[in-house]
Structure 1
């Protein structure tokens, strides 16, 4: 960095000290996450670095735990036929089944959370909306209330048979519908906050100009409002998906054996049999999370460019 001519020695020292403190804080936050990546390649069934790993000996590293993710639950993991092996993997592998459940639940959760959260944010952004602060506090309460309390409440609520317009419906526990609704409750607040933040910088004169030119409300929303807030909507959808994909407490309360997700499978693996295969799953999730965060950052920069904040 090139300092200005008027910068004193103390200014320079403060700057370098500030950079050093930020680097230490960053290392403190990231180190516990990054340490699991090399451990997932451990050739031994340990959660610690072996002497071979510390010496960077190739014999100390292996992909055995990644291979185990596919072999667990397969009927014939030693099948030589490629088509048969992939068919067995897709149909019977425990971790693949958990990944499919997580993706299915995450997809529907993201869809519902995005629609409900965007509609709520559009309503709360209007100045004539009564009790905006109270409604906002209620809608984002699942983020504030401890998850164990929210999960317990959802369990008792979903366990009771409901009566909708005189039609009896069964219990929602141990069903995909119940898990999706539970995750939607947890993911919608992230969409509301993200879209609301995007709408805070929205120029209302654009909608008034469209109305003055004869555009109806739907055309105004589709052609003006939606393109400008779309990056915020996508960011909120990504947060909702990550919330659903990482959630384990609500799944433990609501889901049944058929709704086994990746976090719940990891929980079961830690509780029943500690295996470094869990570190392999964690590494894959870290890579996925980094990719999603990078996408969110790209969308944030695009939003700034649309607003004219950044060049």
Structure 2
């Protein structure tokens, strides 16, 4: 009986904590369907007015497109470099691996504002402020540690004897790497690409310093809108991003189950 009571209390506490974490998200989603010209909870009337305004606004659509382009390119860069780095760290025979991994994880430790300021002062003399490609590279530097951790874990689960067997049967290192290692590490690569995409898409501080008018990302436009005017359209955009993130997570989980 005591064990059952402990389990029920634990489940109750867990449920309350989950509700506290989810409540703000639900409030934003409900407010996004408000009809009034200012944010209010609960809404006095419901409408899809702000969603229509968001999708019909060229400024917001350009910001969304810019964020998607930067996030996709950043994901490709960080995943490619992270996979090669993770493979070298897992399969390579050299010392100080822990020191190298710790160095690669520095972007997670250093405050983003410091990184953003440093990148800004490095970008101005090179006239790179406003370049989407450069912003993607800078975002990739933040996503790289996450990618590295995911892929190191994924590659450690691949038995090295499979690679040795392939090479023993006459396969070249290139063939073994492209036809055996990469397919076996595909689930980890997909997860790493997914999380690096989200890291770039949600990044605000670096984008504030490096984006110009033409390369303004969605988080930067949301920030500027919040500074100037607390428009209800922000709630609609936030709800849209929440729904997209949840759908991507569900697709990721479904993909894992199918691969399992």
Common fold by TM > 0.5: yes
1:63 aligns with 2:23: no
1:214 aligns with 2:198: no
Mapping 1:183-222, distance limit 5 Å? 183-222=139-178
Q: Structure 1 residue 302: deviation in Å?
A: 5.2
Alpha-carbon distance in 1 for matches of 2:231, 2:41 = 14
Q: In the alignment, what sits opposite 1:126?
A: 91
Give yes or no for contact 2:143–2:199 (8 Å, CA) kept in 1. yes
Q: Residues 191 and 299 from structure 1, CA distance in 2 versus in 1: closer, same or farther, beyond 3 angstroms?
A: farther
Mapping 1:65-80, distance limit 5 Å? 65-72=50-57
Q: In the alignment, what sits opposite 1:89?
A: none
Q: In the alignment, what sits opposite 2:116?
A: 151
1:180 aligns with 2:172: no
Give yes or no for contact 1:37–1:280 (8 Å, CA) kept in 2. yes
Q: In the alignment, what sits opposite 1:25?
A: 17
Name the TM-score, length of structure 1 as normaliser: 0.79
Give yes or no for contact 1:231–1:302 (8 Å, CA) kept in 2. no
Give yes or no for contact 2:31–2:42 (8 Å, CA) kept in 1. no
Alpha-carbon distance in 2 for matches of 1:278, 1:264 = 12
Structure 2: gaps (5+ residues): none
Mapping 1:236-251, distance limit 5 Å? 236-251=192-207
Aligned residues: 260
Q: In the alignment, what sits opposite 2:31?
A: 39
Identify which of 71, 78, 87 aligns with 1:106.
Answer: 71
Alpha-carbon distance in 2 for matches of 1:26, 1:39 = 20
Give yes or no for contact 1:98–1:265 (8 Å, CA) kept in 2. yes
Instruction: Give the aligned CA root-mean-square deviation in angstroms.
Output: 1.6
Structure with bigger gyration radius: 1
Give yes or no for contact 1:235–1:299 (8 Å, CA) kept in 2. no
1:288 aligns with 2:244: yes
Give yes or no for contact 2:143–2:196 (8 Å, CA) kept in 1. yes
Q: Of Structure 1 and Structure 2, which has the larger fraction of its residues in helix?
A: 2
SS in 2 for 1:256: coil
Give yes or no for contact 2:31–2:43 (8 Å, CA) kept in 1. no
Q: Structure 1 residue 284: deviation in Å?
A: 0.7
Q: Structure 1 residue 127: deviation in Å?
A: 5.2
Q: Structure 1 residue 172: deviation in Å?
A: 1.4
Task: State the Cα deviation string for residues 146-196 of structure 1 (Å, max 9, x = none).
Answer: 1111111111122233xxxxxxxxx21122222111111111222111111
1:256 aligns with 2:256: no
Q: Structure 1 residue 122: deviation in Å?
A: 0.6
Alpha-carbon distance in 2 for matches of 1:249, 1:51 = 32
Q: In the alignment, what sits opposite 1:167?
A: none
